[in-house]
């Protein structure tokens, strides 16, 4: 698990980032409730309001915060693994 942890975190970040742009699938599967992509699309078809810019700013800040948190977790895990040292060359006798 420690070897594939950075790959899993990267996969989670890609999935999180791509989920914001899932307008077509959301339109087909959302039912009677609007999701964030559908609300944003509805706002772009009408007159542009400041709410649209606020939503864009909030989603950008939120996604950047998630990315920074995950990168911090990877950095801490890397430092923790490096501080433990390596047991190479210490074969069992």
Q: How confident is the model at residue 4 (pLDDT cuts 50, 70, 90)?
A: confident
Q: Give start and end residues of each alpha helix (H) in 2-86.
A: 5-19, 23-29, 36-45, 50-84
Q: Average pLDDT over the chain, rounded to whole?
A: 78
Q: Which residue has the tokens 């791509």?
A: 18
Query: Is residue 93 included in any domain, yes or no?
Result: no
Query: Is residue 92 included in any domain, yes or no?
Result: no
Range of the domain at 37: 5-84
State yes or no: pLDDT of 36 exceeds 80. Answer: no
Query: Is residue 89 included in any domain, yes or no?
Result: no
Instruction: Give the residue from 4, 38, 45 showing the smallest Cα distance to 21.
Output: 38
Query: Is residue 91 included in any domain, yes or no?
Result: no
Q: Which residue has the tokens 């998630």?
A: 66
Q: Compute the Cα dihedral for 18, 20, 63, 48 and give only its sign.
A: positive
pLDDT at 39: 78
Query: Is residue 33 included in any domain, yes or no?
Result: yes
Query: Could you say which DSSP state residue 46 is in?
Result: S
* Domain count for the chain: 1
pLDDT in tens, 8-32: 878 887 877 777 667 677 777 777 7
Q: Which of 35-39, 73-77, 89-93 has the highest mean pLDDT?
A: 73-77
């Amino acid at each position: 698990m420690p070897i594939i942890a950075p790959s899993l975190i990267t996969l989670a970040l890609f999935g999180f980032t791509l989920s914001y742009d899932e307008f077509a699938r959301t339109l087909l599967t959302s039912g009677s409730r609007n999701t964030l992509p559908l609300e944003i699309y509805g706002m772009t078809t009408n007159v542009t309001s400041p709410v649209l810019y606020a939503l864009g700013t909030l989603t950008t800040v939120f996604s950047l915060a998630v990315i920074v948190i995950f990168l911090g977790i990877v950095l801490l895990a890397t430092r923790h693994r490096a501080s433990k040292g390596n047991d190479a060359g210490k074969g069992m006798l």
